[in-house]
């Protein structure tokens, strides 16, 4: 099935056929990644909205394009959920212990967060995705499904990604002398 050439949006009949053809497999993949059918359906629908509103220029690998878009959306959702859980946990700790973070602590935390972000941007995409998925709470099986890997290789890939992250983090921290 080909996408229209001189139109930004896909015609409704073509879109419906693409949806019917690719939606079930995309949902199955996302369920493995997100662990929830409802979350998977939401992300799949968002991916199809992107397809409808801004289709790829070439349709040679539409299934791959949809898979990549959906995986990126799922990773973003997992990051958001992880961030939300950390904020809630930290807020609960602060209330429980009545600790107030001082400006020095806030600055150090912000510097670490910026350095972490810079290191993640340097890492290869597969290493970055493995680390982000694992630290958002995903199982090895989920990571394997999300990234199209063998489950038995996820541990090795994560170990290498962690080592690369640590090495880059140390290198950047030393080269910046603590100044970001």
Each residue's pLDDT tens digit, 15-46? 899 999 999 999 988 888 888 888 889 999 99
pLDDT at 180: 47
Give span(s): CATH 1.10.10.10, the chain. 101-180
Radius of gyration for the alpha carbons in the chain, expressed in angstroms and rounded: 20
If one looks up domain 1-100 in CATH, what number appears?
1.10.1740.10
pLDDT in tens, 110-131: 888 888 888 988 999 889 888 9
pLDDT at 4: 46
User: 150 pLDDT exceeds 80?
Assistant: yes
> How far is the C-alpha of 1 from the C-alpha of 145, rounded, in Å?
27
Give span(s): CATH 1.10.1740.10, the chain. 1-100
> How far is the C-alpha of 173 from the C-alpha of 166, rounded, in Å?
10
Please state the rounded mean pLDDT for residues 53-58. 84
pLDDT in tens, 84-100: 777 777 766 655 444 56
Residue with tokens 């199209």: 148
| Fold of the CATH domain 101-180 | Arc Repressor Mutant, subunit A (1.10.10)
> How far is the C-alpha of 144 from the C-alpha of 155, rounded, in Å?
10
Which of 7-11, 48-52, 55-59, 104-108 shows the lowest per-residue confidence on average (mean pLDDT)? 7-11
Residue with tokens 């949809």: 66
pLDDT at 101: 67
Mean pLDDT estimate for the chain: 82
- Helices then strands (H, E): number in the chain? 7, 0
């Amino acid at each position: 099935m080909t996408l229209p050439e001189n139109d930004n949006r896909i015609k409704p009949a073509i879109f419906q056929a693409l949806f019917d053809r690719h939606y079930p497999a995309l949902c199955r993949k996302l369920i493995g990644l997100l662990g929830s059918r409802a979350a998977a359906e939401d992300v799949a629908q968002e991916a199809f909205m992107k397809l409808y509103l801004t289709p790829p220029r070439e349709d040679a690998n539409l299934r791959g394009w949809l898979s990549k878009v959906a995986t990126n959306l799922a990773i973003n959702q997992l990051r958001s959920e992880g961030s939300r859980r950390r904020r809630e946990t930290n807020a609960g700790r602060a209330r429980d212990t009545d600790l107030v973070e001082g400006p020095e602590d806030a600055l150090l935390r912000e510097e670490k967060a910026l350095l972490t972000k810079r290191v993640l941007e340097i890492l290869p995409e597969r290493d970055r995705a493995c680390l982000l998925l694992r630290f958002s709470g995903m199982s090895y099986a989920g990571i394997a499904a999300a990234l199209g890997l063998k489950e038995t290789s996820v541990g090795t890939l994560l170990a290498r990604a962690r080592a690369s992250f640590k090495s880059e983090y140390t290198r950047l921290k030393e080269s910046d002398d603590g100044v970001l």
